[in-house]
A and B are shown apart, each in its own frame.
Chain A
Amino acid sequence: MTAQALAQVLASGLLMGLIYALIAVGLSLIFGLMDVVNFAHGEFLMTAMYVAFGLVFLTSLDPVLLMPIVVAVLFGVGAVVYLGVVRFAMRAKANQGMVQIFATFGLATLLQGAAQYFLTPDYRSIGNSWLGGKTLELGGVFLPLPQIFGGLVSIAAFGGLYLLMSRTDFGKALEATREDQGAVALVGIDRNRVFTLGWGLGAALVGLAGAVLAIFYYIHPQVGATFGLIAYVTVALGGFGSVFGALVAGIIVGFVEALTAAILPPAMKSLGIYMLYLGVVFVRPSGLFGKL
């Protein structure tokens, strides 16, 4: 491989990795908050992409301008899912863990089925973005503008999330609820409210990822499955519950995937990620930055 080809593979891996990180962080956040693995996370992503597509279809505006609405809608979806599904699943007397898995897994199936039924399984794509189809060339390395934009959005989102967690009352309440759910109730924090907002935030983050992805990726009822699995691996690698871990792990996954595809036959590109994942599970089961 030439140096230029290597630079291209690494640059593409980094840009994809930042998006993986943004997809994964909401999953990690919700787990850290209340020990629930959201199996419908990929379908939240798919929902966000369809919302973006629908808004573009209705308004003919640039999808970049519509991103705040997508994020707000997904915030609502997350909150409703908590209040309507997860809250009840958590009240199960027996096998609570299994009930939560089935509840979110069932939700995933429902969302996929609903998307296929109401929106048809045809592939959609957004063609009217100013960013769409534009590519920046730096010394023979091609960087598509939508992906650069996605990477920047991802970095900004992680920055914002860091400020939110460390500087605001909500962030402190979130952190406190993560530390000890029982104790926060004693000091007057409404646990249910924190959980609702936490789910909203988690869904809003994956909504942001979906809004970015919709600019350059096709939209389809199954698209969540393509990215969902990578999100789980990313969260496990970074450490369940760790926001910083999701960022680092996302970038690592992006690099490893791109490099594996370049060195081994590309059909084995997932091999690198799963080897890494297995290694982490054996050597450090809590993930790179997890507190499990």
Chain B
Amino acid sequence: MNRRELLLGGASAMSFAAAAGFAGAVQAQAAREVVIGVIYPMSGASAQVGIDARHAFETALDIVNNDHALDLIGARGAGLSALGGAKLRLVFADHQADPQKGRAEAERLITQEKVSAIIGCYQSSVSATVSAVTERYGVPFLCADSSSPSLQRRGMKFFFRPAAQDEMFSAAMFDFFDAQKAKGKKIDTVALFFEDTIFGVDSSNVQRKLATERGYKIAADVKYRTNSPSLTAEVQQLKSADPDVLMPSSYTTDAMLLVKTTAELGYKPKNLVAQASGFSEQVTYDAVGDKLRGAITRASFSLDLAAKRPFITTVNDMFKARSTRDFNDNSSRQFMGLLLLAEAINRAGTTDGAKVRDALAATDIPGTSTIMPWARVRYGADGQNPDASPVLLQYVDGKFVTIFPTDVAIAGAIWPMNG
């Protein structure tokens, strides 16, 4: 071995040692943080939803990682106390509303980023593929905001959904119709208008079943292609049917186009009761709000609940400082989803998938320590929270007012909506 070889060998040995030391440092760091994967549409037609979601998750991150004097779960104390004050770290991934991209990103987050849990995914079609991956790897999946009922019916052990799903939301809509009818208001016919992925199809299936069971006639049943350049022929069908209630299940682009087209074709729906989604996005109201006076949407959240729980104003302000908008139906569920996940990980005292899963399954939190109108948070054997009480909001004078159920209502419904 000459001097040159010795030098080289020495250098490589030193760099190896340095690398090992670095790896040790990384591990020490890793013990003090819990990594959560977040899969949302960050580009594509729903990109704004993903960007708002990011702000919601970062607000929740702030709540968990820092000490806040609020009566909200995860607020008191900095970090996860049972894990030595470990901080949460989020890794964001973009699924572009494409179920296959969502699946690939879930694989990557689990195998490369070693995340302890995944939260997602807005579009039900993506949540379906992502939860199949998490199930296979034994990693908990917290479904923050997808509402398709079929998601919980696949016998999954690692799937948890704290918010209501479309059966519960739709049941609330028909309960509301029944209540209006009992007051002597006219509601005989409904029209279903829904987009052609899992969200729209599942939503319409539930609504069709409920309408038939409760004696409402379905005047039109229109399944449309999502992100179409025009909805004229579709709206023409709705106009010909002229139902007492138009019930759309649409994402933002289609919601805006639907409302524009109804106005262009001289069709004024007597009443509109929406399955949230595009109808809970502020941009829809910024663009076509003048044509949506009196429109009703289902929701998981309403800012007027802040009258009863003042901390809602505090966290809404924190969110608003990042995103320049108020919490809405989607961002409130995303925010709450991460807090609930962190609470379960803390209770498990470990990031082991099976143990976090068991902690999630054992969740039992009163609704009053959340920002939602939910009665409780607990999960059934299917991972669904049965106590996530939905509400109906009506768009009046440029803002939403809770109108149903009556025990949380701030005002009575204006029915018909133009009346």
Contact = CB atoms under 8 A, between A and B. Distances in A.
B184 interface: no
B224 interface: yes
B222 A266 contact: yes
Given A216-B264, A266-B233, 17 more contacts: A2-B240, A8-B236, A9-B233, A12-B230, A116-B43, A124-B287, A218-B253, A218-B257, A222-B47, A230-B229, A258-B230, A261-B232, A266-B222, A266-B223, A266-B228, A266-B237, A267-B223
A172 B229 CA distance: 36
Nearest to B256: A218
Contacts of B359: none
B10 interface: no
B204 to A, nearest CB: 11
A16 B227 CA distance: 15
Contacts of A152: none
Interface of B: 43-45, 47-48, 51, 196, 222-225, 227-234, 236-237, 240, 252-253, 256-257, 260, 263-266, 283-284, 286-288
A290 B228 CA distance: 28
Given A135-B264, A216-B260, A269 B233 contact: yes
A2 B241 CA distance: 12
A222 B229 CA distance: 12
Nearest to A144: B264
A155 B43 CA distance: 35
A123 B233 contact: no
Contacts of B231: 266
A142 interface: yes
A135 B233 contact: no
Nearest to A121: B47
B147 to A, nearest CB: 20
Contacts of B286: 123
Nearest to A109: B43
Interface residues of A, number: 43
Given A135-B264, A144-B264, A266 B229 contact: no
B229 A16 contact: yes
A121 B223 contact: no
A5 B232 contact: no
Contacts of B253: 123, 218, 220
Contacts of B224: 261, 266-267, 269
A222 B283 CA distance: 16
19 contacts: A2-B240, A16-B229, A112-B43, A120-B48, A122-B48, A123-B283, A123-B284, A125-B256, A133-B263, A135-B264, A216-B264, A221-B43, A226-B228, A230-B229, A259-B233, A261-B224, A266-B228, A268-B225, A270-B225
A258 B284 CA distance: 25
Given A123-B283, A261-B233, A5 B240 contact: yes
Contact of A258 (B45, B223, B233, B263): B233
Interface string A96-125: 000000000000000011001000111111
A270 B228 CA distance: 9
A183 to B, nearest CB: 41
A220 to B, nearest CB: 7
Classify the secondary structure of B's interface with A.
helix
Contacts of A144: 264
Interface of A: 2, 5, 8-9, 12-13, 16, 112-113, 116, 120-125, 127, 133, 135, 137, 142, 144, 147, 216-218, 220-222, 226-227, 230, 257-259, 261-262, 265-270
B196 A267 contact: yes
Given A269-B225, A270-B225, A123 B252 contact: yes
A268 B229 CA distance: 14
A226 B231 CA distance: 13
Nearest to A134: B264
Contacts of B222: 265-266
Nearest to A125: B287
A220 B229 CA distance: 13
A122 B260 contact: no
A226 B263 CA distance: 22
Given A135-B266, A142-B266, A265-B223, A122 B229 contact: no
Contacts of B51: 120-121
6 nearest interchain CB pairs? A121-B47, A261-B233, A12-B232, A144-B264, A267-B196, A266-B224
A252 B223 CA distance: 23
Contacts of A217: 229, 257
A85 to B, nearest CB: 22
Among B51, B236, B253, B287: residue with most chain A CB under 10 A:
B236
Contacts of A137: 266
Contacts of B257: 217-218
B132 to A, nearest CB: 24
A99 B288 CA distance: 43
B248 to A, nearest CB: 13
B273 to A, nearest CB: 20
Contacts of A5: 236, 240
Contacts of A221: 43, 47
